[in-house]
Protein backbone atom coordinates (compact mmCIF):
# COMPACT_ATOMS: atom_id res chain seq x y z
CA UNK A 1 0.00 0.00 0.00
CA UNK A 2 1.34 3.44 -0.98
CA UNK A 3 1.98 5.71 1.99
CA UNK A 4 -0.35 8.69 2.04
CA UNK A 5 1.32 12.02 1.39
CA UNK A 6 0.29 15.30 2.94
CA UNK A 7 1.02 18.25 0.64
CA UNK A 8 0.79 21.92 1.64
CA UNK A 9 1.33 24.87 -0.69
CA UNK A 10 2.77 28.07 0.75
CA UNK A 11 3.06 31.50 -0.84
CA UNK A 12 5.81 33.99 0.07
CA UNK A 13 5.08 37.08 2.10
CA UNK A 14 7.08 40.08 0.97
CA UNK A 15 10.32 38.30 0.09
CA UNK A 16 11.70 36.57 -3.00
CA UNK A 17 8.37 36.28 -4.79
CA UNK A 18 10.02 35.78 -8.20
CA UNK A 19 12.69 33.33 -9.39
CA UNK A 20 14.35 33.04 -12.78
CA UNK A 21 13.80 29.92 -14.88
CA UNK A 22 17.42 28.91 -14.34
CA UNK A 23 17.07 29.24 -10.56
CA UNK A 24 13.91 27.13 -10.59
CA UNK A 25 15.58 24.45 -12.71
CA UNK A 26 18.51 24.24 -10.28
CA UNK A 27 16.16 24.09 -7.30
CA UNK A 28 14.15 21.29 -8.88
CA UNK A 29 17.16 19.11 -9.70
CA UNK A 30 17.40 16.45 -6.98
CA UNK A 31 20.15 14.21 -5.72
CA UNK A 32 22.89 14.16 -3.07
CA UNK A 33 24.74 17.47 -2.98
CA UNK A 34 22.12 19.24 -5.10
CA UNK A 35 20.74 22.70 -4.37
CA UNK A 36 17.35 21.05 -3.81
CA UNK A 37 18.80 18.81 -1.08
CA UNK A 38 20.51 21.78 0.60
CA UNK A 39 17.26 23.75 0.50
CA UNK A 40 15.29 20.75 1.80
CA UNK A 41 17.56 20.31 4.82
CA UNK A 42 17.60 23.99 5.77
CA UNK A 43 13.82 24.32 5.23
CA UNK A 44 13.22 21.25 7.42
CA UNK A 45 15.16 22.87 10.26
CA UNK A 46 13.02 26.03 10.06
CA UNK A 47 9.76 24.05 9.92
CA UNK A 48 10.87 21.80 12.79
CA UNK A 49 10.70 24.59 15.37
CA UNK A 50 10.89 23.42 18.98
CA UNK A 51 12.92 20.30 18.14
CA UNK A 52 14.60 18.81 21.22
CA UNK A 53 17.34 16.72 19.60
CA UNK A 54 20.78 18.01 18.65
CA UNK A 55 21.54 15.10 16.31
CA UNK A 56 21.33 16.22 12.67
CA UNK A 57 21.05 12.68 11.35
CA UNK A 58 18.21 11.86 13.74
CA UNK A 59 16.20 14.81 12.41
CA UNK A 60 16.84 13.95 8.77
CA UNK A 61 15.94 10.29 9.30
CA UNK A 62 12.73 11.13 11.16
CA UNK A 63 11.53 13.30 8.28
CA UNK A 64 13.04 11.22 5.48
CA UNK A 65 9.82 11.62 3.47
CA UNK A 66 9.77 15.41 3.64
CA UNK A 67 10.07 17.02 0.22
CA UNK A 68 9.92 20.58 -1.03
CA UNK A 69 9.10 21.70 -4.55
CA UNK A 70 8.76 24.95 -6.49
CA UNK A 71 5.45 25.82 -8.15
CA UNK A 72 5.89 28.49 -10.82
CA UNK A 73 2.90 30.72 -11.53
CA UNK A 74 2.38 33.80 -13.69
CA UNK A 75 2.02 35.93 -10.58
CA UNK A 76 4.97 34.42 -8.71
CA UNK A 77 6.05 31.23 -6.98
CA UNK A 78 4.73 28.87 -4.32
CA UNK A 79 6.43 26.17 -2.32
CA UNK A 80 4.86 22.71 -2.26
CA UNK A 81 5.73 20.94 1.01
CA UNK A 82 5.24 17.19 1.22
CA UNK A 83 4.90 15.74 4.75
CA UNK A 84 6.16 18.83 6.61
CA UNK A 85 6.54 18.80 10.43
CA UNK A 86 3.28 19.61 12.20
CA UNK A 87 4.99 22.09 14.53
CA UNK A 88 5.02 24.63 11.69
CA UNK A 89 1.21 24.88 11.60
CA UNK A 90 -1.68 25.99 13.78
CA UNK A 91 -5.23 25.05 12.79
CA UNK A 92 -3.94 24.00 9.40
CA UNK A 93 -2.25 27.32 8.63
CA UNK A 94 1.52 27.83 8.63
CA UNK A 95 2.65 30.12 11.44
CA UNK A 96 3.51 33.49 9.91
CA UNK A 97 6.94 33.74 11.51
CA UNK A 98 7.78 30.25 10.27
CA UNK A 99 6.69 31.18 6.77
CA UNK A 100 8.93 34.28 6.83
CA UNK A 101 11.93 32.19 7.91
CA UNK A 102 11.16 29.55 5.28
CA UNK A 103 11.40 32.09 2.51
CA UNK A 104 14.50 33.62 4.11
CA UNK A 105 16.05 30.16 3.63
CA UNK A 106 15.05 30.21 -0.04
CA UNK A 107 16.44 33.72 -0.46
CA UNK A 108 19.84 32.89 1.04
CA UNK A 109 20.23 29.50 -0.63
CA UNK A 110 19.45 30.95 -4.07
CA UNK A 111 21.62 34.06 -3.63
CA UNK A 112 24.62 32.17 -2.29
CA UNK A 113 24.47 29.55 -5.03
CA UNK A 114 23.95 31.97 -7.94
CA UNK A 115 25.98 34.97 -6.78
CA UNK A 116 28.70 33.52 -4.54
CA UNK A 117 29.41 29.81 -5.04
CA UNK A 118 28.85 29.50 -8.81
CA UNK A 119 29.92 32.99 -9.79
CA UNK A 120 33.26 34.65 -10.47
CA UNK A 121 31.96 37.75 -8.75
CA UNK A 122 33.91 37.10 -5.55
CA UNK A 123 37.44 35.74 -5.21
CA UNK A 124 36.89 33.23 -2.42
CA UNK A 125 40.59 32.35 -2.44
CA UNK A 126 41.42 35.83 -1.13
CA UNK A 127 40.60 37.37 2.23
CA UNK A 128 39.10 40.55 0.81
CA UNK A 129 36.95 38.50 -1.55
CA UNK A 130 35.52 36.46 1.34
CA UNK A 131 34.83 39.59 3.40
CA UNK A 132 33.08 41.15 0.43
CA UNK A 133 31.00 38.00 -0.14
CA UNK A 134 29.88 37.97 3.51
CA UNK A 135 28.89 41.64 3.19
CA UNK A 136 26.78 41.00 0.09
CA UNK A 137 25.00 38.01 1.67
CA UNK A 138 24.10 40.14 4.69
CA UNK A 139 23.07 43.08 2.52
CA UNK A 140 20.90 40.88 0.32
CA UNK A 141 19.20 39.61 3.49
CA UNK A 142 18.45 43.20 4.55
CA UNK A 143 20.18 43.00 7.94
CA UNK A 144 22.68 45.81 7.31
CA UNK A 145 20.94 49.05 8.27
CA UNK A 146 22.34 52.49 7.41
CA UNK A 147 21.59 55.72 9.29
CA UNK A 148 21.16 53.75 12.53
CA UNK A 149 23.36 54.13 15.61
CA UNK A 150 25.27 51.01 16.73
CA UNK A 151 22.95 48.77 18.75
CA UNK A 152 23.69 45.11 17.92
CA UNK A 153 24.91 42.85 20.71
CA UNK A 154 26.01 39.40 19.58
CA UNK A 155 25.33 36.69 22.19
CA UNK A 156 27.12 33.36 22.03
CA UNK A 157 26.67 30.32 24.24
CA UNK A 158 25.58 26.71 24.31
CA UNK A 159 22.32 25.14 23.17
CA UNK A 160 22.56 22.62 26.01
CA UNK A 161 22.79 24.61 29.24
CA UNK A 162 21.33 24.26 32.71
CA UNK A 163 18.03 25.91 33.59
CA UNK A 164 19.64 28.48 35.88
CA UNK A 165 22.07 29.42 33.11
CA UNK A 166 19.21 29.75 30.63
CA UNK A 167 17.26 31.97 33.05
CA UNK A 168 20.35 34.13 33.46
CA UNK A 169 20.65 34.61 29.68
CA UNK A 170 17.05 35.85 29.72
CA UNK A 171 17.89 38.30 32.53
CA UNK A 172 20.80 39.69 30.54
CA UNK A 173 18.63 39.92 27.42
CA UNK A 174 15.99 41.76 29.40
CA UNK A 175 18.55 44.32 30.58
CA UNK A 176 19.77 44.73 27.00
CA UNK A 177 16.20 45.26 25.81
CA UNK A 178 15.59 47.92 28.47
CA UNK A 179 18.59 49.76 27.03
CA UNK A 180 17.03 49.42 23.55
CA UNK A 181 19.83 47.23 22.27
CA UNK A 182 19.14 44.54 19.67
CA UNK A 183 20.28 40.92 19.88
CA UNK A 184 22.04 38.67 17.36
CA UNK A 185 22.69 34.99 18.14
CA UNK A 186 23.24 31.66 16.43
CA UNK A 187 19.42 31.44 16.41
CA UNK A 188 19.07 28.09 18.18
CA UNK A 189 18.00 27.06 21.69
CA UNK A 190 19.57 27.68 25.10
CA UNK A 191 21.91 30.67 25.23
CA UNK A 192 20.86 31.59 21.69
CA UNK A 193 17.17 31.83 22.60
CA UNK A 194 17.30 33.22 26.15
CA UNK A 195 18.78 36.66 25.33
CA UNK A 196 16.21 37.16 22.56
CA UNK A 197 13.35 36.19 24.85
CA UNK A 198 14.50 38.55 27.57
CA UNK A 199 15.16 41.38 25.10
CA UNK A 200 11.65 41.01 23.68
CA UNK A 201 10.21 41.72 27.14
CA UNK A 202 12.59 44.65 27.68
CA UNK A 203 11.65 46.06 24.28
CA UNK A 204 7.94 45.70 25.09
CA UNK A 205 8.38 47.67 28.32
CA UNK A 206 10.22 50.40 26.43
CA UNK A 207 7.58 50.30 23.65
CA UNK A 208 10.22 49.33 21.10
CA UNK A 209 8.04 47.98 18.28
CA UNK A 210 10.81 47.14 15.82
CA UNK A 211 13.08 45.02 18.01
CA UNK A 212 15.57 42.97 16.06
CA UNK A 213 16.29 39.33 16.91
CA UNK A 214 18.84 38.31 14.29
CA UNK A 215 19.85 34.68 13.80
CA UNK A 216 22.96 33.70 11.84
CA UNK A 217 23.43 30.04 10.95
CA UNK A 218 24.88 27.74 8.28
CA UNK A 219 23.70 24.56 6.52
CA UNK A 220 25.94 22.16 8.43
CA UNK A 221 24.54 23.07 11.84
CA UNK A 222 21.00 24.37 11.30
CA UNK A 223 19.29 20.96 11.59
CA UNK A 224 20.84 20.46 15.04
CA UNK A 225 20.06 24.05 16.08
CA UNK A 226 16.69 24.89 14.51
CA UNK A 227 15.88 28.62 14.62
CA UNK A 228 13.99 29.50 17.77
CA UNK A 229 10.53 31.13 17.42
CA UNK A 230 11.74 34.61 18.42
CA UNK A 231 14.12 35.06 15.47
CA UNK A 232 12.65 37.66 13.10
CA UNK A 233 15.68 38.10 10.84
CA UNK A 234 17.36 34.90 9.68
CA UNK A 235 20.49 34.64 7.54
CA UNK A 236 22.09 31.41 6.34
CA UNK A 237 25.79 31.80 5.54
CA UNK A 238 27.54 29.21 3.31
CA UNK A 239 29.81 27.75 6.01
CA UNK A 240 30.91 28.13 9.62
CA UNK A 241 33.82 30.45 8.87
CA UNK A 242 31.66 32.95 6.96
CA UNK A 243 29.05 32.74 9.70
CA UNK A 244 31.66 33.60 12.34
CA UNK A 245 32.99 36.46 10.22
CA UNK A 246 29.45 37.80 9.83
CA UNK A 247 29.05 37.81 13.61
CA UNK A 248 32.21 39.78 14.33
CA UNK A 249 31.73 42.28 11.49
CA UNK A 250 28.12 43.02 12.51
CA UNK A 251 28.71 43.12 16.28
CA UNK A 252 28.98 46.31 18.30
CA UNK A 253 29.53 44.25 21.47
CA UNK A 254 29.78 40.51 22.16
CA UNK A 255 28.53 38.63 25.22
CA UNK A 256 29.53 34.99 25.74
CA UNK A 257 27.50 32.73 28.03
CA UNK A 258 28.40 29.20 29.17
CA UNK A 259 28.49 26.61 26.40
CA UNK A 260 30.45 23.70 25.05
CA UNK A 261 32.83 23.08 22.17
CA UNK A 262 30.88 25.29 19.74
CA UNK A 263 31.19 28.22 22.14
CA UNK A 264 34.90 27.48 22.64
CA UNK A 265 35.30 27.55 18.86
CA UNK A 266 33.66 30.98 18.74
CA UNK A 267 35.83 32.33 21.57
CA UNK A 268 39.05 31.16 19.92
CA UNK A 269 37.99 32.51 16.53
CA UNK A 270 37.41 35.95 18.03
CA UNK A 271 40.52 36.00 20.25
CA UNK A 272 42.69 34.85 17.35
CA UNK A 273 41.47 37.86 15.37
CA UNK A 274 41.83 40.32 18.25
CA UNK A 275 45.42 39.19 18.90
CA UNK A 276 46.51 40.37 15.45
CA UNK A 277 48.60 43.58 15.81
CA UNK A 278 46.47 45.40 13.22
CA UNK A 279 43.45 45.07 15.51
CA UNK A 280 45.11 46.33 18.70
CA UNK A 281 43.36 49.71 18.60
CA UNK A 282 39.98 48.54 17.28
CA UNK A 283 37.41 48.29 20.10
CA UNK A 284 35.48 45.02 20.17
CA UNK A 285 33.79 44.90 23.59
CA UNK A 286 33.81 41.29 24.84
CA UNK A 287 32.19 40.01 28.04
CA UNK A 288 32.19 36.46 29.42
CA UNK A 289 29.34 35.94 31.87
CA UNK A 290 27.07 33.48 33.63
CA UNK A 291 25.29 33.01 36.96
CA UNK A 292 27.26 32.34 40.14
CA UNK A 293 26.81 28.60 39.58
CA UNK A 294 28.79 28.95 36.33
CA UNK A 295 31.86 30.39 38.04
CA UNK A 296 33.84 27.10 37.75
CA UNK A 297 33.07 26.96 34.02
CA UNK A 298 34.12 30.57 33.39
CA UNK A 299 37.27 30.21 35.49
CA UNK A 300 38.18 27.00 33.64
CA UNK A 301 37.78 28.65 30.23
CA UNK A 302 39.78 31.66 31.41
CA UNK A 303 42.56 29.38 32.69
CA UNK A 304 42.63 27.50 29.38
CA UNK A 305 43.00 30.76 27.45
CA UNK A 306 45.75 31.96 29.78
CA UNK A 307 47.67 28.68 29.55
CA UNK A 308 47.48 28.44 25.76
CA UNK A 309 47.20 31.97 24.34
CA UNK A 310 48.65 33.97 27.20
CA UNK A 311 47.88 37.06 29.25
CA UNK A 312 47.38 39.29 26.21
CA UNK A 313 44.41 37.22 25.14
CA UNK A 314 42.89 37.38 28.64
CA UNK A 315 43.12 41.17 28.55
CA UNK A 316 40.78 41.35 25.56
CA UNK A 317 37.71 40.40 27.62
CA UNK A 318 35.97 41.02 30.94
CA UNK A 319 34.40 38.38 33.15
CA UNK A 320 31.23 39.43 34.99
CA UNK A 321 29.53 36.80 37.14
CA UNK A 322 25.95 36.86 38.38
CA UNK A 323 25.08 40.47 37.58
CA UNK A 324 22.88 40.86 34.49
CA UNK A 325 22.55 44.62 34.94
CA UNK A 326 26.32 45.08 35.08
CA UNK A 327 26.70 43.01 31.91
CA UNK A 328 24.20 45.15 30.02
CA UNK A 329 25.75 48.37 31.36
CA UNK A 330 29.19 47.21 30.21
CA UNK A 331 27.73 46.25 26.83
CA UNK A 332 26.13 49.63 26.16
CA UNK A 333 29.28 51.43 27.36
CA UNK A 334 31.23 49.31 24.87
CA UNK A 335 28.75 50.06 22.10
CA UNK A 336 29.23 53.78 22.73
CA UNK A 337 33.02 53.39 22.53
CA UNK A 338 32.59 51.62 19.21
CA UNK A 339 30.39 54.44 17.94
CA UNK A 340 32.91 57.10 18.98
CA UNK A 341 35.80 55.17 17.43
CA UNK A 342 34.09 54.63 14.09
CA UNK A 343 32.67 58.15 14.00
CA UNK A 344 36.13 59.62 14.50
CA UNK A 345 37.42 57.59 11.56
CA UNK A 346 34.34 57.88 9.35
CA UNK A 347 33.88 54.11 9.44
CA UNK A 348 30.59 52.34 8.77
CA UNK A 349 28.49 51.48 11.81
CA UNK A 350 26.78 48.51 10.15
CA UNK A 351 29.84 46.48 9.06
CA UNK A 352 33.30 46.44 10.61
CA UNK A 353 35.37 46.63 7.42
CA UNK A 354 38.58 47.62 9.23
CA UNK A 355 38.87 44.54 11.42
CA UNK A 356 41.71 42.45 10.00
CA UNK A 357 40.95 38.74 9.71
CA UNK A 358 43.79 36.48 8.64
CA UNK A 359 43.00 34.13 5.79
CA UNK A 360 43.67 31.22 8.16
CA UNK A 361 40.46 32.09 10.01
CA UNK A 362 38.43 32.48 6.82
CA UNK A 363 39.21 29.25 5.00
CA UNK A 364 36.52 26.58 5.50
CA UNK A 365 37.77 23.69 7.62
CA UNK A 366 36.40 20.22 6.85
CA UNK A 367 36.96 17.88 9.75
CA UNK A 368 38.36 14.52 8.69
CA UNK A 369 40.64 12.12 10.51
CA UNK A 370 43.53 13.42 8.38
CA UNK A 371 42.87 17.15 8.89
CA UNK A 372 42.28 16.77 12.63
CA UNK A 373 45.49 14.77 13.12
CA UNK A 374 47.43 17.40 11.13
CA UNK A 375 46.46 20.34 13.38
CA UNK A 376 49.47 22.16 14.85
CA UNK A 377 48.64 22.25 18.58
CA UNK A 378 51.96 23.48 19.94
CA UNK A 379 52.65 26.37 22.30
CA UNK A 380 55.85 27.50 20.49
CA UNK A 381 54.11 29.52 17.78
CA UNK A 382 52.38 32.92 17.65
CA UNK A 383 49.26 32.90 19.87
CA UNK A 384 47.01 33.96 16.97
CA UNK A 385 48.15 30.96 14.92
CA UNK A 386 47.67 28.57 17.83
CA UNK A 387 44.18 30.03 18.29
CA UNK A 388 43.41 29.24 14.64
CA UNK A 389 44.40 25.59 15.09
CA UNK A 390 42.60 25.23 18.43
CA UNK A 391 39.51 26.74 16.82
CA UNK A 392 39.65 24.05 14.14
CA UNK A 393 40.08 21.36 16.79
CA UNK A 394 36.88 22.45 18.50
CA UNK A 395 35.15 22.79 15.14
CA UNK A 396 36.04 19.18 14.40
CA UNK A 397 34.61 18.02 17.73
CA UNK A 398 31.38 19.90 16.92
CA UNK A 399 31.30 18.10 13.59
CA UNK A 400 31.80 14.72 15.23
CA UNK A 401 29.09 15.49 17.77
CA UNK A 402 26.21 16.79 15.65
CA UNK A 403 26.97 17.09 11.91
CA UNK A 404 25.85 14.19 9.73
CA UNK A 405 29.15 13.81 7.84
CA UNK A 406 31.14 14.00 11.09
CA UNK A 407 28.99 11.39 12.82
CA UNK A 408 29.35 9.01 9.87
CA UNK A 409 33.14 9.52 9.79
CA UNK A 410 33.43 8.63 13.48
CA UNK A 411 31.26 5.55 13.03
CA UNK A 412 33.42 4.40 10.12
CA UNK A 413 36.91 5.14 11.45
CA UNK A 414 36.66 5.77 15.19
CA UNK A 415 37.38 8.99 17.11
CA UNK A 416 39.33 11.91 15.68
CA UNK A 417 42.88 12.09 17.10
CA UNK A 418 44.28 15.41 18.35
CA UNK A 419 48.06 15.73 18.71
CA UNK A 420 50.36 18.40 20.08
CA UNK A 421 52.82 19.24 22.82
CA UNK A 422 52.16 17.98 26.32
CA UNK A 423 51.23 21.36 27.82
CA UNK A 424 48.59 22.27 25.26
CA UNK A 425 47.16 18.75 25.10
CA UNK A 426 46.82 18.59 28.89
CA UNK A 427 44.86 21.83 28.89
CA UNK A 428 42.72 20.70 25.96
CA UNK A 429 42.00 17.29 27.48
CA UNK A 430 40.99 18.82 30.83
CA UNK A 431 38.71 21.40 29.19
CA UNK A 432 36.95 18.81 27.01
CA UNK A 433 36.60 16.47 30.00
CA UNK A 434 34.99 19.30 31.96
CA UNK A 435 32.53 19.90 29.12
CA UNK A 436 31.60 16.21 29.15
CA UNK A 437 31.22 16.12 32.94
CA UNK A 438 28.99 19.21 32.84
CA UNK A 439 26.85 17.68 30.03
CA UNK A 440 27.80 20.46 27.62
CA UNK A 441 28.43 18.08 24.72
CA UNK A 442 24.89 16.73 24.44
CA UNK A 443 21.40 17.56 25.55
CA UNK A 444 20.86 16.45 29.19
CA UNK A 445 19.87 12.81 29.62
CA UNK A 446 21.83 11.53 26.63
CA UNK A 447 24.99 9.50 27.17
CA UNK A 448 27.97 11.08 25.44
CA UNK A 449 30.40 8.95 23.47
CA UNK A 450 33.54 11.04 22.78
CA UNK A 451 34.23 11.63 19.10
CA UNK A 452 37.85 12.57 19.85
CA UNK A 453 41.01 11.16 21.42
CA UNK A 454 43.74 13.37 22.84
CA UNK A 455 47.21 12.00 21.99
CA UNK A 456 50.42 13.46 23.45
What radius of gyration do the chain's Cα atoms show? 21
pLDDT of residue 139: 96
Q: Give DSSP secondary structure letters for 143-162.
A: ---SS----EEEEE--SS--
pLDDT, tens only, 112-148: 998 998 888 899 999 999 999 999 999 999 999 999 9
| Coil, strand or helix at 42 | helix
pLDDT, tens only, 18-44: 778 888 888 888 777 788 889 988 999
Whole-number Å distance between alpha carbons of 406 and 401: 7
Comparison of pLDDT for 71 and 381, the residue scoring more:
381
pLDDT, tens only, 347-391: 999 999 999 999 999 999 999 999 999 999 999 999 999 999 999
Comparison of pLDDT for 305 and 13, the residue scoring more:
305
Q: Is the pLDDT of residue 62 over 90?
A: no
Sheet of strand 253-256, all strands in order from the earlier edge strand to the far edge:
233-236, 213-217, 182-185, 152-156, 253-256, 286-290, 318-321
250 exposure class (CB count in 10 Å sphere: 0-12, 13-18, 19+): buried
| C-alpha neighbours within 13 Å on the C-beta side of residue 64 | 5
Give the pLDDT band of residue 16 (cuts 50, 70, 90).
low
Q: Stretch 233-259: mean pLDDT, rounded?
A: 97
pLDDT, tens only, 319-343: 999 999 999 999 999 999 999 999 9
For the chain, percent helix, then strand, then coil, each to nearest 5? 50, 15, 35
pLDDT of residue 430: 94
Phi, psi of 390 (to 5 degrees): -65, -40
- Contact between 180 and 331 (Cβ < 8 Å): no
pLDDT of residue 70: 86
pLDDT of residue 1: 37
Q: Is the pLDDT of residue 454 over 60?
A: yes
pLDDT of residue 160: 83
pLDDT of residue 2: 44
Q: Stretch 106-111: mean pLDDT, rounded?
A: 92
| C-alpha neighbours within 13 Å on the C-beta side of residue 276 | 19
Domain range list for the chain? 7-121, 145-344, 362-455
| Coil, strand or helix at 117 | helix
Whole-number Å distance between alpha carbons of 446 and 223: 18
- Any idea of the CA torsion for 338, 343, 348, 353, to the nearest 10 degrees? -60
Whole-number Å distance between alpha carbons of 341 and 281: 9
pLDDT of residue 20: 80
Q: Is the pLDDT of residue 17 over 70?
A: no
DSSP 11: -
Whole-number Å distance between alpha carbons of 22 and 30: 14
- β-bridge partners, 290: 321
Give the pLDDT band of residue 10 (cuts 50, 70, 90).
confident
pLDDT of residue 86: 86
Strands (E), 307-439: 318-321, 416-419
Comparison of pLDDT for 74 and 148, the residue scoring more:
148
**Percentage, residues of the chain above pLDDT 90:** 69
Q: Work out the number of other CB atoms within 10 angstroms of the CB of residue 173.
A: 32
Whole-number Å distance between alpha carbons of 333 and 164: 26
Give the pLDDT band of residue 308 (cuts 50, 70, 90).
very high
- As a whole number, the mean pLDDT across the chain is 91
Q: Stretch 245-250: mean pLDDT, rounded?
A: 98
Range with the poorest average pLDDT among 5-9, 11-15, 195-199, 428-432? 11-15
pLDDT, tens only, 207-220: 999 999 999 999 98
Distance of alpha carbon 435 from the chain centroid? 19
pLDDT of residue 49: 74
CATH number attached to the domain at 7-121: 3.30.1850.10
| Coil, strand or helix at 318 | strand
CA-to-CA dists, residue 45 to 171, 190, 220, 330, 454, angstroms: 27, 16, 11, 34, 33
Range with the poorest average pLDDT among 54-63, 120-129, 262-271, 435-444? 54-63
Pick the CATH number of 145-344 from 3.40.50.450, 3.40.190.10, 3.30.1330.40, 3.30.1330.10: 3.40.50.450
Angle between helical axes of 127-140 and 96-111 (0-180°, round to 10): 150
| Coil, strand or helix at 331 | helix
Residue in 389, 379, 394, 365 with CA at minimum distance from that of residue 452: 394
Comparison of pLDDT for 66 and 257, the residue scoring more:
257
Residue in 26, 19, 153, 132 with CA at minimum distance from that of residue 73: 19
Amino acid sequence: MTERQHIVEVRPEGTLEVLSRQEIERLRATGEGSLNELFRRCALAVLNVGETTDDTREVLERYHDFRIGIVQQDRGIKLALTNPPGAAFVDGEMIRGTRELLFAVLRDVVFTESEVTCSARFDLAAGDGITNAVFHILRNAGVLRTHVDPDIVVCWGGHSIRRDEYDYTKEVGYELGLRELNVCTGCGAGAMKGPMKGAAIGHAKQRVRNGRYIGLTEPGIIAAESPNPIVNELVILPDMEKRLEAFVRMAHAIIIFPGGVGTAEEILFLLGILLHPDNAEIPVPLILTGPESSRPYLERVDAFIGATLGREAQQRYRIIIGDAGAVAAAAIAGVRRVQEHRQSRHDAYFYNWNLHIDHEFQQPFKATHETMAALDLRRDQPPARLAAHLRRAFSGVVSGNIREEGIRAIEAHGPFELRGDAGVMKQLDELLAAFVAQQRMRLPGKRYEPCYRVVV
